[in-house]
Amino acid sequence: MARAPFATLLAIALAATAAAAPALAPAFAQMPAIEENRREARLLADVLEIPREAEAMVARARLEMIDATMKSSDLAEEAAARIVDDIMMPNFRARLPELIAQLVEPIAVNFTYTDLRELRAFYASPLGRKLLRTLPVAQAQGAEAGLAWSRQVFQDSVDRHADELRARGLKF
Amino acid sequence: MKYAFRTAAGALLAAGVLSTGTAWGQAAPAPALAPAPAPAATAAPASTATEASRREARALGEKLGWEAQVRGIINSVRTAVIVNLAQANQKTPQDMIGVVDDLLMPDFVGEAGSLTETIIETWAGAFTADELRNLRSFYNTPLGDKLLRTIPQLNVQINKAGQVWTQRVYQATQQKHADEFTRRGLKFAQ
């Protein structure tokens, strides 16, 4: 079931490469281009710390498996964790490189080789590195600010329209 | 078992990282329906923003579409308010649409600018005016523009790739160790 989307993406990428290639270029020359893209995308992924993100994904999957095992087998958390760690996780960890490759694939197929090189150069520059450092903090602050804002506006709005809301039979 | 594991935030990975700001507003903030004091949300240190950096952050925000993202947040809030009010009042969400749209949403729309300003202030404090100008220059290049256009589909593809892989490895592991699970008297979650 996993193959279809990637086959499709690959087909799209190959078609795009074909469209961009010089008219006389042999069709088989497209395959190395995809491989080059993958190599370059992997280098970009390292700059973007995608391997670390993949590990975090597996860690989240582990927690969900522990939870599911507790529920399905009526076990305490410690026992469920031991089973997941003994039986399930070795396979997940062994296949981590496969996950990283799958996460990198969309990057490889959506950008040209030159794009990928330029993106890596940008993210490796002092400004790019600062952006990568700052973004998680900015995202967290943005999410927090958005939550605080919506609470505040909601409360102000409810206070302002309290009579009308009560008249419509609503309670809070 | 269906492992729709939560990559929404995590699978920003490339996306969030690449997007440099499209994650603003990706997570819809849930409004507090019970009267609650406003939390000390952004315990922000004294801002180092300058007028120049604010100007540049605003210009960058126009390029990155922060206003549209704030509208997205408001839409998510609208849905959350409708659902929560319906639950609190034992009514259907349909019953709540009118009151929410008539009374509450105009206030959210009216305050949208203040949330955009908060985002601008954060960026203006985090980067210098020169850095913000250089970021905008990058996003104005054909590659930067392509990056911004590609991020949404990249997000979806990467998220799906993570889910599909987890599901596949889970099933493979399940088959491989079925006997061991049975021997231990355990069941796999389906």
Q: What is the DSSP string of A117-134?
A: HHHHHHHHSHHHHHHHHH
Contact B77 A118 (CB under 8 A): no
Are the C-beta atoms of A110 and A10 separated by less than 8 Å?
no
A25 compared with A45, residue with greater pLDDT:
A45
Predicted confidence (pLDDT) at residue B8 exceeds the cutoff of 50:
no
Pick the residue with more confidence: B142 or B30? Answer: B142
Compute how many other C-beta atoms are within 10 angstroms of the C-beta atom of residue A161. 19
Q: Flag if A142 and B24 touch (Cβ within 8 Å).
A: yes
Q: Quick one: A45 exposed, middle or buried, by C-beta within 10 A (0-12, 13-18, 19+)?
A: buried
ipTM of this predicted structure: 0.70
Q: How far apart are CA A109 and CA A9, in angstroms?
A: 7
Does residue B34 register a pLDDT over 60? no
Q: A105 in contact with B at a CB cutoff of 8 Å?
A: yes
d(CA A161, CA A168): 11
Do residues B135 and A127 make contact, with C-beta atoms less than 8 angstroms apart?
A: yes
CA A46 to chain CA mean position, Å: 14
Give the model confidence (pLDDT) of B115-166 as tens digits: 999 999 999 999 999 999 999 999 999 999 999 999 888 888 988 999 999 9
Q: Does A91 touch chain B (CB under 8 A)?
A: yes
To which residue do tokens 């210098």 refer?
B128
pLDDT in tens, A77-107: 999 999 899 988 999 999 999 999 999 999 9
pLDDT value at B17 more than 60: no
Nearest in space to A9 (alpha carbons), one of A131, A105, A143, A80: A105
Q: Give the confidence band of A7 by pLDDT, cuts at 50, 70, 90.
A: very low
Give residue-wise pLDDT tens across range B52-89.
999 999 999 999 999 998 999 999 999 999 999 899 88
pLDDT at A20: 33
Position A79, amino acid: A
Burial of B34 (0-12, 13-18, 19+ CB in 10 A): exposed
Mutate to test the interface with B, among A103, A125, A133, A137 (most CBs of B within 10 A): A103
Distance CA B153, CA A114 (A): 20
Cβ-based contacts of B135 with chain A (< 8 Å): 127, 131
pLDDT at A25: 39
Q: Taking CB atoms and an 8 Å limit, are B169 and A87 in contact across chains?
A: no
Q: Among residues 43-82 of chain A, which lie with CB inside 8 Å of chain B? A: 45, 48-50, 53-54, 56-58, 60-61, 64-65, 68-69, 71-73, 75
Q: Are A142 and B23 in contact (CB under 8 A)?
A: yes
Res. A24: pLDDT tops 80: no
What is the distance between the alpha carbons of residues A80 and A70, in angstroms, rounded to a whole number?
A: 6
**In chain B, domain spans:** 50-140, 151-190
Distance from C-alpha of B51 to C-alpha of A99, rounded to nearest angstrom = 45
Handedness of CA A160, A166, A169, A170 (dihedral sign): positive
What token pair was written down for B150?
A: 């590609």
pLDDT of residue B7: 30
Residue of A nearest to B128 (CA): A127
B55, B129 Cβ separation under 8 angstroms: yes
Q: Give the DSSP letter of residue A163.
A: H
Q: B73 and A110 in contact by Cβ < 8 A?
A: no
The pLDDT value recorded for residue B45 is 54
